[in-house]
Amino acid sequence: MSDIPRLTVSIDPAACCAMGRCAATAPEVFDQDPDTGTVVLLDATPPPELHAPARLCAELCPCEAITVTEG
């Protein structure tokens, strides 16, 4: 068993207001749909080095379209 906690990211594209903060902050985890501008999840279980940026994206999202679960 690993001592590194697992982090899972989920998105709600319907809640996304297409600000792009997530894609700018963590481009390894998030992108934007080229047609709608809404969030696209690239990595639902990012590696440990991307946990902090993923958490920050959830905090920065003005639409609360990003959820981070740890455990």
Residues 43-55 pLDDT 10s: 999 999 999 999 9
- Helix then strand then coil, % of the chain, to nearest 5: 25, 25, 50
* pLDDT tens-digit series, residues 22-70: 999 999 999 999 999 999 999 999 999 999 999 999 999 999 999 999 9
Q: Which residue has the tokens 């903060």?
A: 21
Tokens of 32: 């934007």
